Amino acid sequence: MKQWYQWMALEYFFKRSAPYGAYCLIGGMIVMVTAVLWGGFLTPPDVQQGEAYRMIYMHVPCAAGGMVVYAGISIAALIHWVWRIKLADVCMTAFVPVGAVLTALALGSGSIWGRPMWGAWWVWDARLTSCLILLCLYLGLMALRQSISDGTQAARVCAWVTLIGALDLPIIHYSVNWWNTLHQPATMLAFKAPSIDASMLWPLLLSLFGMALWCIGLGLIRMRTLIIMRYRHLSWVQRYLGGIDAAC
């Protein structure tokens, strides 16, 4: 338990997390490329959607990633709000742009997928609208962070807004059940056998795993960069930067 708690300290996290960011980022990219090539060229076409369904191997990981990242920063926001842990605020700040990019890619790929399926690039479907709200939350958090000069106050306000915005996550998830939407129901449920064929399921699971690794890797790298930018006045950060200069 003591060792777990040490990870909440900025110096301990910075020193111990050094290799994991690059490993996860590179590994995630390799896994994602493998999954997309597998799903894009080696799986059979869908009976109803034909070749258009192959967008699933990009769209679903991005959509899931955008939601999971927001759930993660909501947990970090709660930790910072209750215990004032600086690393939690660093985590929020680092992962918000990652989630924004994933959500934007999910909306873009969904529009490309929806054009041949629905006959329109965009419809005010409940899930599409709630995902657009999620993107607005991400962009709003980035703008809010930049608009407040006091770092402590910015962290508190962003944590509060993040926790309120988390209410959008169950709306996104359950929108296909609560309203009559164009989106199909979930094909992978925890307590039911997946309705997608195994030949299509495995590359999808692989792409989800690759996206998870990529998000973790990019987030860790951004966290380490933010720590250097925010706390470069601390002696241990200066020693680290001095070591880099000496090596160069």
CATH of the domain at 140: 1.20.120
- What's the half-sphere exposure (Cβ side, CA atoms, 13 Å) at 179? 14
**What is the sign, positive or negative, of the torsion defined by CA atoms of 212, 218, 221, 223?**
negative
User: How far, in whole angstroms, is CA 129 from its chain's centroid?
Assistant: 18
**What is the sign, positive or negative, of the torsion defined by CA atoms of 76, 210, 183, 136?**
positive
Q: Which alpha helices (DSSP H) does the chain contain, by range?
A: 2-6, 10-16, 18-37, 56-83, 86-118, 126-147, 151-165, 168-178, 198-230, 235-247
Residue 209 lies inside a defined structural domain of this protein = yes
**pTM of the predicted model as reported, rounded to 2 decimal places:** 0.93
Q: Give the Cβ contact number of residue 45 at 10 Å.
A: 12
Which pLDDT score, from 0 to 100, does residue 97 have? 98
Residue 169 lies inside a defined structural domain of this protein = yes
Record the tokens describing residue 204, joined without a space. 């999808």
Residue 83 lies inside a defined structural domain of this protein = yes
Geometric angle at alpha carbon 94, from 91 and 142, rounded to 5°? 115
Residue 229 lies inside a defined structural domain of this protein = yes
Domain assignment of residue 171, given as a range: 21-183+201-247
Residue 82 lies inside a defined structural domain of this protein = yes
> Phi and psi dihedrals of 46, rounded to 5?
-75, 150
Record the tokens describing residue 185, joined without a space. 């129901």
> Phi and psi dihedrals of 72, rounded to 5?
-65, -45
pLDDT by residue, tens only, the chain of 248 residues: 456 678 889 999 999 999 999 999 999 999 999 999 999 999 998 877 888 889 999 999 999 999 999 999 999 999 999 999 999 999 999 999 999 999 999 999 999 988 888 888 888 888 999 999 999 999 999 999 999 999 999 999 999 999 999 999 999 999 888 887 777 666 655 445 566 888 899 999 999 999 999 999 999 999 999 999 999 999 999 998 887 766 66
Residue 59 lies inside a defined structural domain of this protein = yes
Which pLDDT score, from 0 to 100, does residue 244 have? 74
**What is the sign, positive or negative, of the torsion defined by CA atoms of 164, 165, 170, 174?**
positive
Distance CA 220, CA 224 (A): 6
Which pLDDT score, from 0 to 100, does residue 191 have? 44
Which pLDDT score, from 0 to 100, does residue 109 have? 94
Which pLDDT score, from 0 to 100, does residue 163 have? 98
Which pLDDT score, from 0 to 100, does residue 125 have? 87
CA dihedral 50, 182, 194, 57 (to 10 degrees): 50
Total of domains in the chain: 1
Residue 88 lies inside a defined structural domain of this protein = yes
Distance CA 186, CA 89 (A): 33
Which pLDDT score, from 0 to 100, does residue 190 have? 43
Which pLDDT score, from 0 to 100, does residue 194 have? 62
Residue 127 lies inside a defined structural domain of this protein = yes
Please spell the DSSP secondary structure of 98-165, one letter per residue: HHHHHHHHHHHHHHHHHHHHHSSS----HHHHHHHHHHHHHHHHHHHHHH---HHHHHHHHHHHHHHH
